[in-house]
């Protein structure tokens, strides 16, 4: 998919943590890239959402477990 706007929201699964937010940059041929730093180890819910070039919206939710250093 080209010409989309894509963003990411990363939330810890427990209360009290601020979400990590970032917008993706299209780097060519339908590939989008973003970078952010995990603020701590643990279980995260990633929500990737955006709008396609034709105006249709999308959302995909991923569950991720981040391991700390030494783990």
Domains: count for the chain: 1
In a domain, 71, yes or no: no
Say what the pLDDT of residue 33 is: 95
- Provide the pLDDT confidence category of residue 31 given band limits of 50, 70 and 90: very high
In a domain, 20, yes or no: yes
Q: How far apart are CA 34 and CA 22, in angstroms?
A: 7
- pTM beyond 0.85: the answer is no
Closest alpha carbon to 7 in 61, 62, 49, 37: 49
Inter-residue contact 57 to 51 (CB < 8 Å): yes
Residue whose entry in the numeric block shows the structure tokens 């034709």: 54
In a domain, 46, yes or no: yes
Say what the pLDDT of residue 54 is: 96
Q: Which residues constitute the domain of residue 41? A: 5-66
């Amino acid at each position: 998919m080209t010409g989309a706007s894509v963003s990411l929201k990363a939330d810890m699964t427990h209360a009290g943590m601020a979400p990590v937010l970032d917008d993706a940059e299209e780097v060519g041929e339908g590939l989008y890239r973003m970078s952010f730093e995990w603020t701590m180890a643990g279980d995260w819910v990633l929500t990737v959402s955006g709008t396609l070039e034709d105006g249709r919206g999308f959302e995909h939710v991923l569950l991720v477990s981040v391991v700390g250093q030494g783990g």
